[in-house]
Amino acid sequence: MSMHKLKGVILLTVFSTVSARSATIAVIDSGLDVKHTQLVSKLWSNGSESSNSKDDDGNGLVDDLNGWNFAENSSSLLRRELIGQFGEETVHKYMDLRAKEVDGLLTRSDSSFLSQARASYRLMGLVNNYGQFAHGTHVAGIALKDNKKSKVMGIKLLKSSFSQTLSSSLTMALNESDDITISSVLVSNILSQSKSMIEVGKYLNSKKVEVANGSFGLSIFQASKLVQASFVNMLGRYPSQEELVEYSFKFMYTMLDEHKKMVESSPDTLFVFAAGNDGQNNDVFPVAPANIQQANVISVAATYGDTKLADFSNFGKKFVDVAAPGVNIASTVPGYNGVKMSGTSQAAPLVSNLALRIKEVNKALGPAEIKKIIMETVDKKSWLAEKVKSGGLINTKRAVFAAHFAKYRNLEDGILYAKHYVVSGMTGTSGLDIPNGVMLPTIEAASNPFFNTGNFEEGVNPETIFDANNIKDILGGNFSRLKL
């Protein structure tokens, strides 16, 4: 028998004997449509709770049947009455044409529609609002695609508007001290945002959730806008370049410490975080929570299929672990199917999907072992060698092979045999290849559903001063230890 046929026999034997068991994923996001026809049979159900307006399991959360809304302290995971209120027919058309634009398939009529749409302040507002409303359901659909056994728990962690966030920060600071400083306001903001996240971690741990997807985050560029607003509101002036850089970095590293508490409070959960969509290096410009360095955290960059890193995707050889397709990913949205979105928000749940598959075939594996399998079974790509820690793109079949084989030998042997027997290009996705040379317009690449910090037309422009040389000059190079 030839080696090629032998490999085929081995693979067939392995995958035909895989017996999938259910695993649970929590989608920490903007909400979840629990009545969606493609998701309703895949919902995690709290067996200790009934729909009776009572706290049956004694955890302080009434009727947490399918998860919990930590933003509004409610069991309602989505305002379904808003379905149909965003002008979905027009918004979906816009999103579909954006996808065609990326693929280079626009007609003259399509281009005309997009031009008119982008000139419409109202329509673009609807697109952005709809993107936030649908975000969690879209992520959930990706995470569960072709996973017949796994279940999804909804965790709603809704954004606050900037004005509300700043107002609450000032109120907290005033209540805590008569000496109001920029640092006290920023710390209060962090604590108000992080409190729910720590509660989320404890909840996941109590429900033994194996995988949690976090397609959300805060970049230093967003933090800088909050710093600017704090200076304007408290001191009546904009910060200097030095102040903006220093306080922005202090804010980020303090926030990362707080977000880390969520991860630490659920040690048996693998947290999958989107790397961010600034097109920046996370090794230089931190993103929370993606930059958390823990054995049970994996961060994800986005690619154009298997051809190149997406233009909008963040990267980092130290702080970003793997890459997955994140352009034109079709998935569920509230009340509808097959809507395409792009971003590291879409790449992350593909990795979560893979983590679920691994857990389904080998329940004995912990989060650090699942992470090891994912990272060590990637398809190595020259264009990712300096962009992500693993240097590659996820390979679903290779990773599942390794997990299954590890049941009968050990983890190292499973990975070794998987590398030998499973070919490249097995990401578990299709129709995602983007022609070389096609550039993705970045107008709304995976809009972040959290931490909206507003826009400022005056003062120091963060995007012009946040470069590595400037930062080293201002902070002296040892800025990673800064804290508020």
Backbone angles phi, psi at 391, to 5 degrees: 75, 15
Q: Is 350 exposed, middle or buried (0-12, 13-18, 19+ CB in 10 A)?
A: buried
pLDDT surpassing 70 at residue 348: yes
In angstroms, rounded to a whole number, what is the distance separating the alpha carbons of residues 116 and 123? Answer: 10
**Mean pLDDT computed over 266-273:** 98
Q: How far apart are the first and last CA of the chain?
A: 66
Q: Which residue has the tokens 């509004």?
A: 72
In angstroms, rounded to a whole number, what is the distance separating the alpha carbons of residues 472 and 479? Answer: 8
Q: Which is higher by pLDDT, 141 or 12?
A: 141
In angstroms, rounded to a whole number, what is the distance separating the alpha carbons of residues 370 and 365? Answer: 6
Structural tokens at position 460: 């120091």
Q: Which is higher by pLDDT, 146 or 5?
A: 146
Reported as a pLDDT band with limits 50, 70 and 90, residue 482 is low
> What pLDDT was estimated at residue 363?
95
> What pLDDT was estimated at residue 178?
43
Q: pLDDT digits over 75-108, tens only?
A: 999 999 999 999 999 999 999 999 999 999 999 9
pLDDT surpassing 60 at residue 163: no
Question: In the beta sheet, which residues pair with residue 274?
Answer: 300
Query: The domain 3-481: what is its CATH number?
Result: 3.40.50.200
Q: Which is higher by pLDDT, 161 or 116?
A: 116
Q: pLDDT digits over 187-213, tens only?
A: 666 666 667 888 999 999 999 999 999
Residue 99 CB contacts under 8 Å (≥ 6 apart), including other chains = 328, 340, 342
> What pLDDT was estimated at residue 193?
66
Highest averaged pLDDT of the listed ranges 201-205, 438-442, 472-476: 201-205
pLDDT surpassing 70 at residue 117: yes
pLDDT surpassing 90 at residue 39: yes
pLDDT surpassing 80 at residue 315: yes
In angstroms, rounded to a whole number, what is the distance separating the alpha carbons of residues 98 and 91? Answer: 11
> What pLDDT was estimated at residue 458?
42
> What pLDDT was estimated at residue 68?
96
> What pLDDT was estimated at residue 343?
96
Structural tokens at position 359: 């857990």
CA dihedral 192, 265, 344, 222 (to 10 degrees): 20
Q: Which is higher by pLDDT, 419 or 426?
A: 419
> What pLDDT was estimated at residue 424?
74
**Mean pLDDT computed over 384-407:** 96
